[in-house]
């Protein structure tokens, strides 16, 4: 027993028993795709950042868009991949939160309006007014590309609210993949979807573009980004947020970038990049 005590004391003197544990950086992402798939996608991304930054990095799944914002606001995670609207909400909920990176494509993002071929609605340059009175689904209620911007364009091009244009209350699938599945199955005549998700689903042969087809592509707007919690430097050390930003922007491995479907790479971002969305969300009553 005495020898065991002496060994413990020696280890403590060498930092063995009392060595401080590495900080754990927990991050999440809005679940635009299946949660199980996101966990698999983010595993190599987390491993890369952990090795690059010298801290333990863990992905934390969340049930829906609102839960992602809540986890960030409550300090359960200190980094999040948000859409434009969820990022605006998170920044309002957490003063000092910073957008630090976005995809190269994100300053000029798009939504697709998709339909089931049975509708007979054909692709065109103009807004698809033939969708009026049809069964239509948006994605998440908090989605920029699946709700905020599609609603904006509906109002802009028809002069009507979604309820007035479609003839009933708005329907929400919950995420982009589900929107595509519901339209392909004919459960809904049409839907609004993130263009990169649709293109990926077609490439993976999960969606048949001849059945679930794009009839309109919106004008560009800013969308997704990585947001850092203001307590991140307290957790991982002074200057860590800048190191994290530099590490993200430096990623060139397409397999790592697949986690956020941004094979084109990431670029620096700042909160002001989403001022236009913030103003629009206020007009529609989606933020304070």
Q: Is the pLDDT of residue 220 over 50?
A: yes
pLDDT for residue 3: 40
Band the pLDDT of 32: cuts 50, 70, 90.
Answer: confident
What global pTM score does this model have? 0.88
* Pair 147, 113: CB distance under 8 Å: no
| Token representation of residue 231 | 């307590």
Residue 110 neighbours by CB under 8 Å, 6+ apart:
145, 195, 217, 218, 219, 220, 221
| Helix, strand and coil in the chain, % to nearest 5 | 45, 20, 35
Q: What's the burial of 202, exposed, middle or buried (CB within 10 Å: 0-12/13-18/19+)? A: middle
Classify domain 12-107+222-283 at the CATH topology level: D-Maltodextrin-Binding Protein; domain 2 (3.40.190)
Q: Do domains 12-107+222-283 and 110-217 have the same CATH topology?
A: yes
Q: What is the rounded (10 degree) CA torsion for 279, 273, 79, 219?
A: 80
Q: Is the pLDDT of residue 185 over 50?
A: yes
Name the percent of the chain lying above pLDDT 90: 88
Ordered by start, the domain boundaries in the chain are 12-107+222-283, 110-217
pLDDT for residue 36: 73
Q: What is the rounded (10 degree) CA torsion for 31, 36, 40, 43?
A: 60
Tracing tokens 């933020």 back to the chain, one arrives at 287
Q: Is the pLDDT of residue 188 over 50?
A: yes
Architecture label for domain 110-217: 3-Layer(aba) Sandwich (3.40)
């Amino acid at each position: 027993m005495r020898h065991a005590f002496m060994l413990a004391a020696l280890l403590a003197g060498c930092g063995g028993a009392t060595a401080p544990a590495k900080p754990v950086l927990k991050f999440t992402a809005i679940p635009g795709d299946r949660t199980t798939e996101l966990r698999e996608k983010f595993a190599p991304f987390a491993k890369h950042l952990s090795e690059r930054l010298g801290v333990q990095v863990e992905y934390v799944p969340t049930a829906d868009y609102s839960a992602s914002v809540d986890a960030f606001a409550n300090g359960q995670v200190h980094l999040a991949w948000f859409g434009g609207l969820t990022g605006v909400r998170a920044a309002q909920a957490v003063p000092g939160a910073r957008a630090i990176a976005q995809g190269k494509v994100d300053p000029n993002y798009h939504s697709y309006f998709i339909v089931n071929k049975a509708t007979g609605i054909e692709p065109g340059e103009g807004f698809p007014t033939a969708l009026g009175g049809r069964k239509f689904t948006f994605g998440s209620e908090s989605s920029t590309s699946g709700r905020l911007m599609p609603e904006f364009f509906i109002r802009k091009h028809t002069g009507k609210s979604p309820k007035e244009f479609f003839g009933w209350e708005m329907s929400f699938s919950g995420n982009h993949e589900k929107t595509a599945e519901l339209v392909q199955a004919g459960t809904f005549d049409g839907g609004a979807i993130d263009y990169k998700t649709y293109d990926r689903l077609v490439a993976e042969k999960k969606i048949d573009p001849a059945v679930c087809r794009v009839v309109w592509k919106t004008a560009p707007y800013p969308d997704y980004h990585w947001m850092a919690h203001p307590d991140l430097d307290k957790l991982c050390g002074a200057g860590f947020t800048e190191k994290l930003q530099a590490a993200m922007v430096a990623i060139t491995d397409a397999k790592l970038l697949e986690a956020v479907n941004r094979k084109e790479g990431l670029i620096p971002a700042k909160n002001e990049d989403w001022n236009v969305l913030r103003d629009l969300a206020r007009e529609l009553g989606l933020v304070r």
